[in-house]
Every structure is written in C-alpha cells, then in structure tokens.
Amino acid sequence: MSKLTFPRMGESWRTFKMLLEDLGNDVVVPPRPSKRTLDLGVRYSPEFACLPLKILMGTYLETVEMGADTIVTSGGVGPCRAGEYAMLHHKLLKDLGHDIKMIVFEPPRLQPLNFIKNVRALNKNRTSIRGIIAHIKRAWRKLQALDNAEKLSHIVRPREITRGTTSKMYRRVLGWIDQAYTTEQIIETETAALQALRGVPQDLDREVLKVGIVGEIYVLLEPASNLEIEETLGNLGVEVERSMFLTGWTRDNTWTETTEMMSVKEAAAPYLPELVGGHGRDSIGNTILCAKRGFDGMIQIAPFTCIPEIVARTILPRVSRDYNIPVLTFFLDEQTGKTGMSTRLEAFTDLMRRKKRLQRGQFTLTG
Amino acid sequence: MDLNKKLGIPSVLLYYIYFPFWLAFFNEIGVQVVTSSNTTKSIMDKGVREALADACVPIKLFFGHVMDLKNKCDCLFIPRVVCLNGKTIYCPKFLGLPDMIRHSLDGIPPIIDVRIDARQGRLSKIKAYLEIGSYFGAGRNIVLKAYCKAWIALRRYNRLLRKGLNPLDAMEIIKNPKNKKLILPAKSNLKFAVLGYPYAIYDSFISVNLLGKLKKMGVSVLTAENINPLTLAWQKNCGLPKRLFWTFSDAALKAAHYLFRQGRVDAVLHLTAFGCGPDSLLNKFIELEAKQHKEIPFMTLMIDEHTGEAGMATRLEAFVDMVKRRKEVVSTCRN
C-alpha cells in the first residue's frame, strides 16, 4: 500500500492525518522542521527560492526516508511562486532518484475535474460522497479547535505569572484535541482545552501591548520557520493577533463583520488595489484594520525574496505613517540565529511601550 | 489633462517589449513622450537608495529611472500590466509597480496606471487604451486609429527582432526609417543563446555589457526575442504538468527547451538578477533541462547592482574559451 505524506504547516498536520486515515490511507506524518530539514532543503533547492520551498524540500526528503512514496500538496495559478512548488519539488525529487507520486490539488473552482480525480485517488476506502463530506466537516471542526486553542494561547501567554506555563499547557491540550475523533468529542475537548488554557495563573493587571502579525502564510503558520516569534513576543509581554489561520483564511476573504464594516480587500484598496499573489494585499489590509482597532504595532514576516511581500513592504511605510502605527518587518532566510530576532523584537517592544506611555501622558525618564 | 503635457516613460522593464507600441500610440493622439536616459551609475544609485533593499535589481533600476524622469515630465506612464496574451501574467512586482512608486517616492508627477488584463474579455485591451486616451481628452475614433497604428508599429518592431536585431537597434531603425542600414549581426563561428529577461539582457549597464563582450569575443547571440513566438508556443508545457505562469519566464523556459532540443547553438547562458523570484524556479528548470543535454554547455550568470566588470569578464572569457576548445576537439575527433 502506498504511503502518503503532506506538507507540514504548524499543528494542522493532526487534522490532515485524521482525514487521510479516515479515507483509508497509510500516512507518514511529516516531522517538525529541524536544522537537518533545513540543511537538506537548502542543499537541494535553488539558492534564491523562498524559505517555504526549502523547508518543504527538506521535509519531503525526510519523509521519503521514512518510507513515504506519495505526496499530497496544493497547486495554484499564480502569481505567487507557491503555485509552481509541486512541479519543482517533483522534478528535484526525481532528479535525486526518488520515484515519488504527486497528488496536486489545484483550486477546485477553476479545475473541478482535477479535484474530483484527486479525491478519488485518495479515497482508498471507497467511502461514499456523503461519507467524504462528513469526514471533511469533522476535520474542519478539528482544525477550528486547534486554531482556537492557539489563538487563546496568544492571549494568555503575555499575562502568565510563571513563564512557560502557557506553552506547556498548550502542548498538553494539543494532545487532547489530537485524541478526539467524533465531532462531539472534538467539541468537548475543545471546551476543556480552552478552559485549561484560561486556568493558567495570570496577572490580569499587567500592561500588555497588542501587536498584529501579517505576512506570508507559510512562515506565519509554521513556528519552526519563524523562530517561534509568537512565543518570543508573548514572553516579552505582548499579546499577538495573527491575521492568518488556516480556518480563518476563507472567512477573511468575505469578512465584512469587522467593527469597521470593511473587508481586508477594501481596506487595502487605496494602497494596493491589485491582487499581487500570496498575501501581499492582505498584509496591507490587515495592517490598516489593526491600526483602526487601536493596536500598538504590527509585525510583518516573510521569506527572503518573497515577491508579494516585497511589494507590500515597499508600501507599508506609507501606511505606517498615515495610520500612525509602527511596523517592523522580518525577512526570514535559512539563517537560524534566534538572538538577532529577539534583540530586534525587544527593542521594538520597548519603543511601542514608550509610545503608548507617551500617549497616555505617563512619561518616565528611565523608560 | 490636456495634450500639451509631457508624458514620461521610464526606459526599463516593459520598455524593451512595448515601447514602439506606446510611442506610436501616443504620437498618434498627439502626446509628447519623453523617456529616461540610458542607465548610468547615478540612476542606479538613486534607485538603490529609494527602493527596498530586498527588491531585485530591475525594480531598483525602475525606481532610479522614475527619479531621473520626475522633473522632466508632467505625468508618468506606469500601466498595471497584468496579462497581455490571455494566458500568462507578469511578476507580482509588475502588478504592484504603480503602487510601489506612488507610495514610496515623494514629489512624483501623477501616474497613469491603467490596468491591462487581457483575460477580461476580448476588448479589454482596447478598453484599457481608450481609458488611457481619455486621460488626454482624446476621442474614441482617434484612440482606435492610434491603437491600430501602434499595432502596426509593434508588428514591424517584432519582425525586426526576429531577424536577429537587438531591441535598441530595432527601435533606432523604426525611429529613422530613412537610415535603412539594416546591419544584421555578422555570422560567426560560435553562436550562444542568451536567455533571461529582456530588461536585464539589453540594458548594457546592469548586464555589464554582456552582449557587447560576447560580440567582441566573436560570438553571435540569440535571445528568446529572436525566436518566432509560434515556435515557442509549439513547445507547449515543456514536459511539465503546467506552464510557468509568468510571461517572460514562460518564454525563456520554452526557448531553452527548444534550443536544447534543436541543438543548433554552441552554448546556453542564463542571465538572472539577484533576488529575482520567478528566476529562482526558472533557473532550476533550465538547469535540469541542460542536464539532459550534455552536449550543450550551460552557464548561469547572476547580476546585481554592483558594477565590477572584471569578475563577469573573466567568467565569460573562460566559458567562451572552453566552448571554443570543446568545439575544436569535437570536430577533430569527427575527422
């Protein structure tokens, strides 16, 4: 029987594993990207390819070692490079002598036949269409549960009394959600998980800064690729609101119930009316929305040479000036020194805190 | 906006492909066109200072040319070119070009940033040009006439390119038709294909005069623009499950596929810019293609904003010498 694997993006692998196993596949879970993953990826990928391509290349090579022979991944129609990843990965793996099968999901709206064909190929159990839909619904619910737990961890972490308790608890509740199988179980464990996270001892009077994170989806969702920026910020006493979650992604595109009654697209329109691929326009739109909601600052993270984010980054200084919100950008590459990023984050946090106190009129000389 | 205003067109990026079209169009509706001067060190420096450090050289150069133009014209023509052939689009940096310029440079004249997307219906291109015409108060009929004239100019230009001329020479011939000395490149013993984006290859400043150097060494050059588009289209997806979705990359990959298969060139050079997104994939695809055709040597040259000529010259000379030697050895072996 063929062994399946898929790209790893944060904790979402728990859902995809469940879904693929439900359909009767043998799944190889991609390991968390490590130094070795990156080394492998960098060795065999083009030099100026973006970080996600390199990490995925490394992950694929590792899963191939573990016995995987089929890769399920997504395609795309541009203009972002991610749409061509599958093609290049396939060629590179073949060049290295691995005979791998690729199942590439193109946008179903444009290529419905490709979607049906792929689902049929994955449906080893010959589940009925209704069964497949039920499986997908359940998987979706699990994804939501995982996202909700992560969102709450971002709120709790800056307020925790003993550093590290939230991360520890978060890791534990992930295990609970992972174990849940039926929809009822998923909802039950989600409630328990959220309660457990809220139960972490917190100092509610602490002055907490609120920062939005925007940028390219892969480096946003995979903590191993962004050097755990959210955890670092949480430890600095900063509440993080990430603009992108796998489940929120679809909702964001039709998001009109924000307090400003404005979608991300509309917000970005005066600055960047064109879809430049990836999430360039979302980065700008979300920065504006967050500024309107009174955030203290924004952080943009993107892989080095990411085209859409370079466009966004060129425009962001103007947005930052117009809306009076500080923006810090990180371009991530295969260099894994965490200290450089921590130092910059600390400085940024200090500046934001100073700005906030100045606005409130409580200015302290020592800062 | 009236007709007395001067329209500035930066001579970078799409300039090498569509300038004859734009020039004919604007001349016909009676708008005076000014272009930025050829790339110089100072233009490059201005661009590097203004543009984001992570952007690629051609984009930095574009910023430099806009800075050069901004005091010479009353409005800038930076169309948002999304798709022109109904199939492939342009790099995201092209799509966001007018916004990048508008929001990161100060004191620039108004920008005409009409969106041109051929995927939105058959008449979308004409509609875009009608919109451009309306900026200058040109009537419908005048615009349509200008559009037809522009097409004729572009066809003429493309025909000259197919003959093996480089874009700058071809534009010169179109400008002075009386001066009809069609100096076709001399046939030489060695023939190299130079692949890459027109705005990098033909800008002799950022390509560190690659074409000139090759010519000096007695190598004749073939580029993707010299190949008939039908021949390129015939390559289909080059054995890949889907095409590259950026126009220039698609053309370069198809040209590589065609040239390697046909085997009439002595070597293939790929000129790529530091930090170019599409090229990171394209270069690997061409490299994998080259691996299957060991009889044709292949080299990648990377350019960036630094202007040291020696490194490039040394590599080129070494490469040309090796190809020459190889050719001699192969021919003596055959005899």
Which one of A127, A144, A176 terminates a domain?
Answer: A127
Please give the share of chain B, as a percent, with pLDDT higher than 90: 23
* Interface contact B92-A280, CB threshold 8 A: yes
pLDDT of residue B173 exceeding 90, the answer is no
The number of folded domains in chain A is 3
Q: Which of B54, B82, B279 to mutate to test the interface with A (most CBs of A within 10 A)?
A: B54
Q: Are residues A181 and A239 in the same domain?
A: no
Res A364: pLDDT = 58
Give the DSSP per-residue string, A163-196: TTHHHHHHHHHHHHHHH--SHHHHHHHHHHHHHH
Q: Are residues A117 and A94 in the same domain?
A: yes
| Residue A18 φ then ψ, to 5° | -60, -45
Rounded distance between C-alpha atoms, residue B212 and residue B192, angstroms: 13
Q: Does A79 sit behind a cis peptide bond, omega within 30 degrees of 0 on the bond before it?
A: yes
- Domain coordinates of chain B in residue numbers? 6-175, 190-334
Indicate the SS3 state at residue B214.
helix
Q: Which domain holds residue A190?
A: 132-205
Mean pLDDT of B169-191: 74
Q: Are residues A218 and A273 in the same domain?
A: yes
What one-character DSSP code corresponds to residue A204?
Answer: T
The token pair at B124 is: 């979308």
Distance of CA A16 to CAs A22, A173, A191, B12, B191, Å? 10, 18, 21, 46, 52
* Interface contact A310-B55, CB threshold 8 A: yes
Rounded distance between C-alpha atoms, residue B323 and residue B310, angstroms: 20
Which one of A205, A236, A262 terminates a domain?
Answer: A205
10-residue stretch averages of pLDDT, chain A, 367 residues long: 88 90 91 91 89 92 92 83 88 91 85 87 87 90 91 92 92 92 92 93 89 90 87 90 75 46 78 83 89 91 89 92 92 83 92 88 60
What one-character DSSP code corresponds to residue B246?
Answer: B
* Interface contact B95-A310, CB threshold 8 A: no
Distance of CA B294 to CAs B194, B266, B288, B316, B318, Å? 18, 11, 11, 19, 18
Cα B228 to chain centroid distance, Å, stands at 16
Res A337: pLDDT = 77
Rounded distance between C-alpha atoms, residue A285 and residue A283, angstroms: 6
Res B236: pLDDT = 81
- Distance in angstroms between the alpha carbons of the first and the last residue of chain B: 71
Q: What is the 3-state secondary structure (H, E, C) of B215-238?
A: HHCCEEEEEHHHCCHHHHHHCCCC
Q: Are residues A12 and A89 in the same domain?
A: yes
**Buried b or exposed e, range A68-101, using 16+ CB within 10 angstroms:** bbbbbbebbebbbbbbbbbbbbbbbbeeeeeebe
Chain B, residues 75-94, CB within 8 A of chain A, namely 80, 82, 89-93
Cα A171 to chain centroid distance, Å, stands at 17
| Alpha carbon of A27: minimum distance to chain B alpha carbons (Å) | 25
| Alpha carbon of B332: minimum distance to chain A alpha carbons (Å) | 33
- pLDDT band at residue B182 using 50, 70 and 90 as cut-offs: low
pLDDT of residue B180 exceeding 90, the answer is no
Rounded distance between C-alpha atoms, residue B75 and residue B31, angstroms: 11
Rg of chain A (C-alpha set) = 21
B194 within 8 A of B201, measured Cβ to Cβ: yes
A54 within 8 A of A334, measured Cβ to Cβ: yes
Indicate the SS3 state at residue A44.
helix
Indicate the SS3 state at residue A16.
helix
Angle A129-156/A165-179 helices, nearest 10 degrees? 170
How many other C-beta atoms are found inside a 10 Å radius of the C-beta of residue B137? 12
* Interface contact A310-B279, CB threshold 8 A: no
Q: Which pTM was predicted? A: 0.88
Half-sphere exposure of B34 (CA within 13 A, CB side): 18
Mean pLDDT of B210-217: 88
A325 within 8 A of A287, measured Cβ to Cβ: yes
| Alpha carbon of A82: minimum distance to chain B alpha carbons (Å) | 10
Half-sphere exposure of B142 (CA within 13 A, CB side): 14
Q: Which of A317, A273, A42 is nearest to B82 (CA)?
A: A273
Q: Are residues A120 and A238 in the same domain?
A: no
Contacts of B245 (CB under 8 A, 6+ apart): A77, A78, A79, A83, A84, B88, B89
How many A/B residue pairs have CB atoms within 8 Å?
A: 120
* DSSP β-ladder status, B75-77 and B6-9: parallel
Q: Which of A310, A320, A323 to mutate to test the interface with B (most CBs of B within 10 A)?
A: A310
pLDDT of residue B1 exceeding 60, the answer is no
The token pair at B23 is: 């020039």
Chain B, residues 219-258, CB within 8 A of chain A, namely 240-242, 244-246
Q: Are residues A64 and A162 in the same domain?
A: no
Contacts of B256 (CB under 8 A, 6+ apart): B193, B195, B268, B270, B285, B286, B289, B290
Architecture of domain B190-334: 3-Layer(aba) Sandwich (3.40)
Q: Are residues A48 and A73 in the same domain?
A: yes
Q: Are residues A236 and A269 in the same domain?
A: yes
Indicate the SS3 state at residue A272.
coil
Res B186: pLDDT = 64
| Residue B125 φ then ψ, to 5° | -70, -45
Q: Are residues A138 and A11 in the same domain?
A: no
Q: Are residues A36 and A117 in the same domain?
A: yes
- Domain with residue A321: its CATH number is 3.40.50.11900
- Domain with residue A78: its CATH number is 3.40.50
Res A300: pLDDT = 93
The token pair at B160 is: 């000259």
Q: Are residues A62 and A180 in the same domain?
A: no
The token pair at B136 is: 């200058």
Q: For chain A, where are the E strands, in sequence order?
A: 3-5, 26-27, 70-74, 101-105, 209-215, 238-242, 297-303, 327-332
Which one of A205, A224, A250 terminates a domain?
Answer: A205
Task: Using the structure block, give the residue that is written with the tokens 């991530």.
Answer: A332
Q: What is the pLDDT of residues B48-85, one digit of tens each?
A: 998 888 888 899 999 999 998 988 888 899 999 888 88
What residue type is assigned to position A256 of the chain? T
Q: Which of A43, A57, A105, A311 to mutate to test the interface with B (most CBs of B within 10 A)?
A: A311
Mean pLDDT of B274-289: 89
Chain B, residues 94-133, CB within 8 A of chain A, namely 95-96, 99-100, 103-104, 115
Fold of domain B6-175: Rossmann fold (3.40.50)
Chain A residues closer than 8 Å to B92 by CB: 79-80, 276-278, 280, 307-308, 311
Res B135: pLDDT = 85
